[in-house]
């Protein structure tokens, strides 16, 4: 209805009331009618202004399709000492001294604690004395008989030979005497026995002389050598026990725990000290097998440990997946552990860049509008319905594939070249008319420049 038509209806109604009402009532009617006219004109003016204001200027970007994107992935792990050992004695004994306490730094080979070893020392001295005696006998056997001994034996053989010869001569005379019955049979038999005994002594002396001249038998030397070796082995065993009575640091590190004090009787393999290596620190981080395979060994990476960033070298990849997390562990070695204040057990993170093959578009995160069923939307300008530089807003559902900072990689019901609202989406609704202020093509390289200094309005 136009202003003239509206005014005519008001005049007709006013004439009706004027003809049937009093002068005072007529005056009241005219005042009410005039007020209604003013309100009507005001409403019409507001409607016109509101129509003009609904055509909003918006900043837009034109989508440019990409076939891949680089995604930053952060994986967590733990800082560990390269070596940590529970130290203790292999033998039982009384703890007589311990020279370190928790928190002390030690060097490799440093003496840490000792057991009572007096009985072992006494046993060692006894075995060493027995070894000396056995070794002397072995040396004598190897050297063979003395020259003087051989000479004495030769003289004995010569003496026995002469005695035997005399006995033979005497026996021959006794035979004649016996045949003439000059001597008794008993006397003859006595001479016969002495002859045989003298001959036997000669044979024995000759054999002893041959043995002396031939030297000691190899079997006798071998038997004595075995006795010497057994004593040497027993001495080594005692010395090992003595060495194990002193606990030394296998590597440089810090004592983290002390379990016992002096005077304690320690059973074998009892934990006494825990030693943690601090000169070499490692970061163990689990990640998907595909991501772990992209880590180039011997390359340097930036590892975040609490509020510190440390350099670390990718050292190795473990050959098996963790059965609980189904991840593959990558080990990073901290370059200079003494230059940072870190403690084994702290949480560590590494960020790596992975190249993903996926068709999509980079858009500012401010262009996204929450939709339903886990999806998002963007507001696109319908180019086919432009009217005098004005376009109508359409909602397009998209999936957010990846987000990095203030930009996101999306795919969905948008195509290459679509113009979308880059920011200020809270001011518009689908179907609204807008005027585009296009920025730049939204490639992944240019998007950071597009977002510079741009807000949500």
* pLDDT one-digit tens code per residue, 222-263: 888 999 999 999 999 999 999 989 999 999 889 999 999 999
HSE-up (13 A, CA, CB side) for residue 281: 25
Tell me which fold the domain 76-80+277-356 belongs to.
Elongation Factor Tu (Ef-tu); domain 3 (2.40.30)
β-strand partners of 137: none
Q: Supply the pLDDT for residue 3.
A: 47
Classify the phi-psi angles of 394: left when phi > 0, otherwise alpha if psi is within -120 to 50, otherwise beta.
beta
Using one digit for the tens of pLDDT, what is the confidence trace for 23-77?
Answer: 555 565 556 556 666 555 554 444 444 444 468 899 999 999 999 988 888 999 9
State the chain's maximal CA–CA distance in angstroms.
Answer: 214
Q: What are 146's two structure tokens?
A: 């003395």
- Give yes or no for a contact between 249 and 109, defined as CB atoms under 8 angstroms apart: yes
SS3 83: coil
The span from the CA of 111 to the CA of 98, in Å, is 9
pTM of the shown model: 0.55
State which H helix or E strand residue 52 sits in. helix 23-53
pLDDT at 32: 55
CATH 2.30.29.30 assigned to 85-115+245-276: no
What does the pLDDT read at residue 451? 47
Tokens of 249: 């640091």
pLDDT at position 46? 46
pLDDT score of 197: 83
Query: What is the pLDDT at residue 375?
Result: 83
How many Å apart are CA 262 and CA 100, to the nearest integer? 12
Instruction: Provide the CATH number for the domain formed by 56-64+359-450 in this structure.
Output: 2.40.420.20
Residue ranges for the chain with pLDDT beneath 70: 1-54, 176, 178, 212-216, 383-388, 440-457
């Amino acid at each position: 209805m136009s202003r003239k038509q509206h005014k005519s209806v008001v005049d007709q109604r006013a004439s009706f009331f004027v003809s049937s009402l009093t002068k005072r009532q007529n005056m009241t009617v005219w005042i009410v009618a005039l007020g209604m006219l003013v309100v009507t004109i005001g409403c019409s003016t507001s409607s016109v202004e509101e129509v003009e204001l609904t055509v909003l200027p918006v900043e837009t970007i034109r989508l440019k399709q990409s076939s891949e994107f680089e995604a930053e992935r952060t994986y967590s792990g733990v800082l560990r000492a390269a070596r940590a050992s529970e130290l203790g004695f292999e033998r039982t004994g009384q703890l007589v001294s311990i020279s370190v306490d928790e928190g002390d730094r030690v060097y490799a080979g440093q003496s840490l604690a000792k057991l009572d070893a007096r009985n072992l020392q006494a046993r060692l001295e006894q075995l060493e004395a027995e070894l000396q005696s056995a070794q002397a006998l072995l040396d004598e056997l190897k050297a063979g008989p003395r020259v003087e001994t051989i000479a004495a034996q030769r003289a004995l053989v010569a003496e026995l030979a002469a005695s035997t010869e005399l006995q033979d001569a005497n026996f021959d005379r006794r035979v004649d005497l016996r045949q003439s019955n000059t001597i008794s049979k008993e006397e003859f038999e006595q001479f016969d026995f002495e002859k045989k005994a003298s001959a036997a002594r000669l044979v024995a002396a000759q054999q002893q002389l041959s043995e002396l001249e031939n030297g000691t038998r190899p079997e006798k030397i071998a038997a004595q050598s075995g006795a010497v070796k057994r004593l040497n082995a027993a001495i080594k065993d005692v010395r090992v026990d003595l060495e194990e009575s002193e606990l030394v640091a296998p590597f440089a590190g810090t004592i983290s725990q002390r379990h016992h004090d002096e005077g304690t009787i320690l059973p074998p393999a009892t934990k006494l000290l825990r030693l943690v290596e601090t000169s070499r620190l490692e970061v163990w981080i689990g990640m998907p097998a595909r991501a772990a395979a992209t880590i180039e060994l011997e390359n340097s990476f930036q590892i975040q440990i609490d509020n510190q960033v440390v350099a670390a070298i990718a050292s190795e990849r473990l050959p098996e997946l963790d059965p609980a997390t189904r991840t593959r562990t990558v080990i990073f070695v901290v370059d200079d552990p003494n230059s940072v204040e870190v403690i084994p057990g702290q949480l560590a993170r590494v960020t790596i860049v992975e190249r993903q093959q996926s068709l999509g578009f980079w858009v500012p995160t401010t262009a996204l509008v929450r939709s339903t069923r886990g999806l998002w939307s963007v507001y696109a300008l319908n180019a086919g319905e432009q009217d005098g530089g004005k376009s109508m807003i359409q909602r397009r559902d998209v999936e957010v594939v990846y987000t990095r900072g203030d930009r996101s990689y999306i795919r969905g019901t948008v195509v290459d070249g679509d113009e979308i609202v880059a920011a200020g989406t809270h001011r518009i609704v689908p179907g609204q008319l807008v005027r585009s202020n296009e920025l730049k093509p939204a490639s992944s390289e240019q998007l950071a420049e597009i977002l510079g200094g741009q807000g949500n309005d």
